[in-house]
Each structure stands twice: as C-alpha cells, then as structure tokens.
Structure 1
Amino acid sequence: MTVPRIGAAAAWRDAARELLSRGTPPEHVTWGDDAMARGLFDETPASVQPSEIRVHRSFVSVANSVVWHNDPQRFSRLYHMLWRLQSQPWLIGDRGDPAMAKLRAMEKNVHRCQHKMKAFVRFREIGEPAAPRRSFAAWFEPTHHTVEPTARFFQRRFGDMDWRILTPDVSVFCEGGTLRFDTDRPKPDLPDDAHEDLWVTYFRNIFNPARLKVQAMQSEMPKKYWKNMPEAASIPELISTAPARARAMAQAAPTLPPARMAQVQAMQRRNLSSWGGPISDLPAAIHSCSRCPLHVAATQAVPGEGPTTADLVIVGEQPGDQEDLRGKPFVGPAGQVFDEAAKRAGLDRSTVYITNAVKHFKFVPRGKRRIHQRPNVSEIEHCAWWLDAELKLVSPRLVLAMGTVAAKALTGSEANVSNRRGTVERGRLGSAVLITYHPSYILRLSDKAKRKQAMADLQDDLRLAVQEAEDLDGPNRPDH
C-alpha cells in the first residue's frame, strides 16, 4: 500500500480501514510512501465497501502522530497494532507490550519535533514593500515529517500575512489565509533580514551565564537546527565567556538578608542605644566595633572627644582621611574650617564634646588617595548605637547637628539642611537639636561669595548653640 507524503494521516486511515474490512492480515501487506519504489510483486487490491470498524480513541490519537514519523516501518507498525486490537482491545493500555511501547515512543518523538519546529523556524521577509500583504519565507530541516500537522499552528499565528516554510521533504505555503503543500523544493537563497540584528541582540541579553548547562541546552536546542538560526552564531562565544560573566554578575549582585532577619533588624533598631557600660569604657567599645562593614577598610574607629560634663555636643558626619589616621575627630581640612568658625563665634572647643554620627571612615580608593563617600542609611542606623550611648552618658543641654548625615542620625529626618539651618528640633531621644552646615560643605563651595556667606551662617549657628546651651534650664529640654 502506498501512502502519499501529503495527506498521509487520512490516506493511511482509509487504506487501513479497507484492508481490515477485507480481512487482510499484516504479513500480507507492504507499506510505503510515494517516495519508495514499487516492488515487483506489489499489486493494488480491488476496492471493497469497508465495514464498520471500532477502535479505541487513544489509538486514533497515536496513529495521527505516528504517521508523521520518519521510520519507514511506521505504517506497517500501526496496521499490525490495529489488527491485534480487533481481538485484544486491552493492548491499547498495556505499557508492557513492546509494539505498543514503540508506538508511544514514536508519538512522543513526533510531538517533540513539532515543538522544535514551532520554536526554531526563522522567517525572513521576501515581499515587496508596497504589496498589500507582507510575505515571509523560512527554510527548516525537521527530523520527522511534521510540516503538515504543524502548519495549522502557523496559520493561526500569522493569519495577517503570507508565508512559506520550505523543507527538503514537504513544504507549506499560506497565501491569503489558505494552506497548500508541495514536495521536494530546493533550499532558497533567502535575503538578509533587517530585524535579525535586533533579535540577536535580544538573544545575547537574555542569555544567563550563571545558569548555563550546555548538555541541557543542546537537548532543548539540538545543534542540527543551529545553522538556520541567526542567533546560534553567538552561542559558542556566549558559552566560552559564561564563567567570567557569571563571576562578574555574582560580584556585582547586592546581598539581601534572609526574610527572618527582618525581625532581628527591627529589634536592633528598637534597641540602638542599649549600650550601658561606664563612660570610661566607651572609647574602647567603639574602637572594637564591627557592627557594619565599614570597619573592614578603615584604619580605626574614631570616638568622640571632650568633657563628658559638656552642655553642648557637636555631631559631624564621619571621620575623614586625617581623622581616620590620627584617631581624633575634626583634625583634617573640615576640622580647620570648624576651628576658625568656632574661634570667630567665641566658642572654646575644649568645653564641648565633639563626635561624629558614623565612627569609621567610608571611602573608595583612587590611586594613592582615599575619596570620601557618604554613609548610607544602614550604616547611620548601625552607628546610632554609639552616638546614642555618647549622648546618654554626656547628657548635654543642646546637640549641634552639622550636615545632613548628623541631622538624619539625631532627628530621623533627611530634609534639606539649608531650609532647617538655625532651627532647633526635637531629637529621637528627646534632646534639643540645632541644625547647621557641615564644614566640608563650605570647603566644596567654589563661589567665593557663597562660601563667605556659608561661613558666616556657620559662625552665627555656633554663637546660637552657645547661647541656647546656656539658656536651656535643664538637660534634654528643647525650648520648642
């Protein structure tokens, strides 16, 4: 029996029904398609009226897939099983039967080939720009004869355009929404597609080197299909560079605490100032701090300095390069600006307690220099443990916050310092907090007039701090 390559499923069913109606056993039938030469003793049996034949729907489903397999014996295998099912209908569910197991495996192979066709066909535009419908063509080399059973998928997906999929076996054409099939078409010389570069760029960007598994990839995207896929030219390079790219991704990835740490971190924030040792032990405790990663790169922690009976505590941002090396607050360029402003304001530095919101120097190396970096919220919150401990032990009448970081640490607000300068706010611990500029802000001003004005404002705020500290009639009592 000859089954044509186009319309094979329906042709095999008709032939099998006729042979079964005639009672023709499988060993008396030679099956082939129209590409196979006719045998010397082959003959076409006379047609008879087929009788009603009943078969389980599961076999019909298996047959509709297996007829498209590339096994030359596929038609014979199907008819042999159909013959057996007439007397042994339970075989359709017998997974231990070798013949039935073979058909199930062939069915699976055909479904897999259909999936590959849907995934790996790459169209190129061949139509004229002025044509009423756009036209596309693709060359594909399927493992099995899956063009005809898969054509409906492409017809539904690309119903608004004309297209053709050419293969070494059966090719399909869709023109005006109508399908037609042809055989033995040569491989066409398809034009370059302007969209391929964009597609390849997209493919390269979604390639995840950290999840590369070459064998698994080739299982899903067999190398036999690569030659007709434009993005496949990038795969060897993407594979060879994957280890280095994965390492770079890992190094650049942010580290996130596990979910259970949220409760622990919330508890830490509620108990930031629980340190309760004697004042004499506080500098040593600060020096041994490792509460945040800043301690790793810094030379040392820099605790506050000054009398612990001071009415005024002055809080800056963090140690600078010189402070980090010498272990004392405000001894670098910003400290010199502060000393000059304090002298003009009539403030004796030896009478106040000077410290920083963050105790370690945060920087990035650039050549031989260490470039200052602003502390983030996490680092400010971790160091608030020590700042709160200092404030509780000194118990000042007033705290002067110099700069945004100090204001954030003392009040919890990051609002613009320029709009708050010269005002007294209530701190997190209930202390009175006067807001002013940080001396480093003045150093960064390139305009001489603005720098002079900012210096005058800092001096005014220092005078106000001295006056407010004296006027407050008790510790930790803001006047508003």
Structure 2
Amino acid sequence: MQRIIIPRLGADKAWRDAARACLAAGLAPHDVTFGDASDGGLFDEVVQPPSIDAHDITVSKSFISLARSVVWHSDKDRFDRLYTFLHRAQRERRLMQDGADPLVQSLRNMEKAVHRCQHKMKAFVRFREIGDPKAPRRSFAAWFEPTHNTVEPTAAFFANRFADMDWRIVTPGVTAIFENGALRFALDLPKPDLQADAHEDLWTTYFCNIFNPARLKVDAMTSEMPKKYWKNLPESASIPQLIADAPARARAMADAAPTLPPVRTARVKDAATRSTHWDGPSEGMAAALSACKRCTLQAQATQVVAGHGPEKADIMIVGEQPGDQEDLVGLPFVGPAGQILDEAMSHAELDRAAVYLTNAVKHFKHTIRGRRRIHQNPDRDEIESCRFWLDSEIARTKPKVIVALGATAAFSLTGSKTAIKTRRGTFEVGRFGHPVLITFHPAYVLRLPNPSAQSDARKILIQDLALAASSVPRLASQ
C-alpha cells in the first residue's frame, strides 16, 4: 500500500493538500494510507502525494471545520478515517448530516475530544518566570502534557492573550515558542527545569479562599479538572486538604449564617396585607389609574383607557385591551370592534348607556410598522398587573353578570386559559364568585375570512349577549 508521510508540524495543511491530490488521482481508501514515519506498516511504500490539479475537488464547509480539529487527534488512524469519509462524501453528498453513520459518529467524537483537550490546555497551563523580571520583555515557560496534538491549533490563543511577554509552552511533542511577537514551533525539546516563584503562593492563597466547601462535588471537580493535570498545577497541593476539611467548614458556615429573616419574608408580608383593588375614594381612582406604573405599557400608549358606564350596573362587559382608536379617544369600544359590539347589543336589546364597558388591560399594547400601530396581545404579567384595576371596577360597579369577551378577559376574570371555543355561551364562576358569561371578542368577527362566517359569528355574539341580559332578573332575585 502507498503511504504518504504527514509531518508532525503543519499536519492540517499537509494532510489537506495530500488528500485532495489523492482524491483527484482516483485513489481509493484501500490504496493509500497517511501518517508519520514511525507508525507505517511493514509492506507500505512511502510515496509523495500525486502531482495533479485538485482544484475541482469540493467539500462542504462543515467537513472542513471537522477535519481542522480531527487532524490534531492522537489516534494514528485519524488521517485514514478522514480520507475514507472524504472519498465517500464525493458520492454521498448528505453524509455529513447522517448522525447515525458509524464513521461520522467516530469523527464527531474525535472532534469533541480535541476541543475538550484545547479547553483543558487553556485552563491548566501554568507559566513560571524564567527570565529577568526587570527586562523589557519578561520571559516565562510552562510544561504541559496534552492528551492530543493540540499545541499548534491552540497556541494563537496564548499569543493573543500574552502578546506583551515572551513565553514557551513545552510538551512531550510539540513546543510553542513566542519571542518578540513571533510564534514558532519546535519538536521534542526536553522538559525545562521550572522553579516555583512568589506568584504561585499568591495564586494558591487566592484559590483556597474562593473554594466553597458547601458546593463541593468531588466527581464533578475531577471531571472538569482531571487528576492527570494536577502534578503541574501549583494549587493542586492544597486540594486534598480542602476536600478533607470541606464538611467541617460547611458546618461552620451554616452555624455562622445570619438569623435574620430573609428579605423575601418582608415582601411576602407586604403582599399579604396589600389591597387587591382600589380602596381609596372613588373620585381619586381615575387619577391613580392615570399614574399607574404597575407594568411598562403606559410608556408606549397615548393615554390610559378606563372603563365607562354607570356607577352601578347590572351588566359589565370586559374586553381585552384598548385598540388604536380607543387609545386616541380615551374611551373603550369606539373602534371597529366597538361598532360590532354596539350592533350586537342593539339586537340583544342591551342599552349601552346601562352597561359598564371596560377592558382587562387599560393601555394599548402595539408595535409600529411604518405609519400603522399593530395590536399585540398582552402577556400574562401585564394582565395580572392590570387585574388590580379591573377588580377595583368590579368592586365599585357591583355587576350581577359579567361578560368576558375573548381569552384575555376570560383569563383575567376566571384564571382559566382553556380555549374559548369549548367555553363559549356558558357561565363560569369568577375569581370572586361573580357569574361570568364567556363569549368571543367582537374583533374575532372582523378577522373571519368571508361574509358568511362573519354573519354566523354576529348571530352567536347576539345570542350570548341576550343570554346575559335575560339572566339578570333571575340572578337579582337570588
């Protein structure tokens, strides 16, 4: 079998160029193998990559990203696996998306292992000063033992972070050397004789002081900080004692904890005694509502739109929120949906002047598109924040029947978010015992696609309003 030698330095580019040339020459995976000079087979014939134009060979960006990591794995078969994948991918164009393919799985696992090794290198390299501390550029060195060949692809991280000093990271294989702003690599340098310095004592003191014994999980710690790295970490000498002392230190922390009640206790007490509706004078409610900042909707609305109707009313009708026209005029149900409601009330023989009209939310929530203000549904927090004012209106008006128009009003009055279609035309018990008739919002009529459906919806709305009107005498006598 033909064997192409991939150098230990610059392996990513060397393998990429060789693989493209072999693929352009039509070599199958069983015709060629890749690797360094030390791990070849007995009958392998070392050859140079074919001299052939490989510009027509195309691969997906996702494979390029995968290969840039896998080439640094320590598995001696990594290049052959990549080439096998590359050869198959010329015929199986969606191979990269096949997560169940064993070859894809193995390459993804190798990629993940390389990324993890790079992360550990960034976390556990510890420099010691080897030059004159007073020199214009101070000099440092570190000894590190990576699991994979990750020095080359990770060295740029250190060059960017420590650009103002000279340093070298020596490993059993490749060494990264950064001097006078230039990065280079060397092979098989001896382990340097690195002496401890004062900085390590300071770092170890800091490490011991931020160690939290109450959150100690030894398995998790050794997973993120494997013991294979401990011998080169100055703080590792303190870890066994920190683990041994953790139970006693955690108990001491608990004993020393303050006995004062937590802040949330005061908040709970405050909430328990806070009024659920306006309990001030009726003439002050309008001003208080106008100044309300329980949610953020007042910031985008023109004005607050309070309920409108008699001080006492047998029937209260509750919608969702003001629309564009209501926001400008300051009264509920004066826009297109209000016209639908007026027509339905007229057919149901309900006098608008005798009905209290309001909304679950008092400000217009919208988004601006060009010159138009487009309605947006209020969210749960906004509905619950404004419930204070709806409850105040109910307490003041004392209706015998409440009509909930749509899902928002139904949720505010009953606390249930069940679909309106399954509840329409029925009475439910409100949060304070009031009978609540559920129906759809008149804006629903405007959204229907054809006149026939709109006509049917109008009839249903009239029917429900008539049911609410007819139930008032019965409820008044109870």
TM-score range, shorter chain: 0.5 to 0.7
8 A Cα contact 1:5 1:34, kept in partner: no
Q: What is the identity percentage for the equivalent residue pairs of Structure 1 and Structure 2? A: 63
The aligned amino acid for 1:16 is A
Inter-partner Cα distance in structure 1 for 2:138 and 2:240: 34
The aligned amino acid for 1:242 is A
> If the length of structure 2 is used for normalisation, what is the TM-score?
0.54
Q: Who is 2:137 aligned against? A: 133
**1:34 Cα shift?**
4.2
The aligned amino acid for 1:62 is L
Inter-partner Cα distance in structure 1 for 2:267 and 2:163: 56
Q: Who is 1:452 aligned against? A: none
Q: Who is 1:179 aligned against? A: 183
Inter-partner Cα distance in structure 2 for 1:212 and 1:173: 37
**1:192 Cα shift?**
1.9
Q: Who is 1:117 aligned against? A: 121
Residues 136-193 of structure 1, C-alpha deviations (whole Å, 9 max, x = no match): 0000000000000000000000000000000001110000111110111111111221
**One of 42, 47, 51 as aligned partner of 2:45:** 42
Is 1:2 matched up with 2:5?
Answer: yes
The correspondence of residues 332-347 of structure 1 with structure 2, limited to 5 A, is none
**1:35 Cα shift?**
4.1
Deviates more, 1:177-186 or 1:134-143: 177-186
Inter-partner Cα distance in structure 1 for 2:267 and 2:54: 77
**1:258 Cα shift?**
5.0
The aligned amino acid for 2:18 is A
Is 1:216 matched up with 2:195?
Answer: no
**One of 89, 93, 98 as aligned partner of 2:102:** 98
Distance 1:18 1:269, change over 3 A: closer
**One of 11, 20, 25 as aligned partner of 1:17:** 20
The correspondence of residues 359-398 of structure 1 with structure 2, limited to 5 A, is none
**One of 158, 168, 177 as aligned partner of 2:162:** 158
**One of 195, 198, 202 as aligned partner of 1:198:** 202
The aligned amino acid for 1:223 is K
Deviates more, 1:162-171 or 1:34-43: 34-43
**One of 204, 224, 231 as aligned partner of 1:227:** 231
**1:129 Cα shift?**
3.1
Secondary structure in 2 aligned to 1:204? helix
Distance 1:121 1:267, change over 3 A: closer
**One of 78, 83, 90 as aligned partner of 1:79:** 83
**One of 33, 36, 48 as aligned partner of 2:36:** 33
**1:256 Cα shift?**
5.2
Distance 1:105 1:48, change over 3 A: same
**1:262 Cα shift?**
1.0
Secondary structure in 1 aligned to 2:105? helix
Inter-partner Cα distance in structure 2 for 1:47 and 1:266: 82
> If the length of structure 1 is used for normalisation, what is the TM-score?
0.54
Distance 1:39 1:253, change over 3 A: same
Which stretches in structure 1 are left out of the alignment for 5+ residues? 271-480
Inter-partner Cα distance in structure 2 for 1:24 and 1:145: 27
8 A Cα contact 2:140 2:166, kept in partner: yes
Is 1:247 matched up with 2:276?
Answer: no
Inter-partner Cα distance in structure 1 for 2:130 and 2:199: 13
Is 1:66 matched up with 2:70?
Answer: yes
Report how many residues are paired: 270
The aligned amino acid for 1:93 is Q
Q: Who is 1:413 aligned against? A: none
Inter-partner Cα distance in structure 2 for 1:149 and 1:228: 21
Cα RMSD between the aligned structures?
2.0
Q: Who is 1:144 aligned against? A: 148
Q: Who is 1:366 aligned against? A: none
Which 4+ residue blocks in structure 1 deviate beyond 4 angstroms? 263-270
Q: Who is 1:324 aligned against? A: none
Inter-partner Cα distance in structure 1 for 2:195 and 2:267: 61
Distance 1:166 1:257, change over 3 A: same
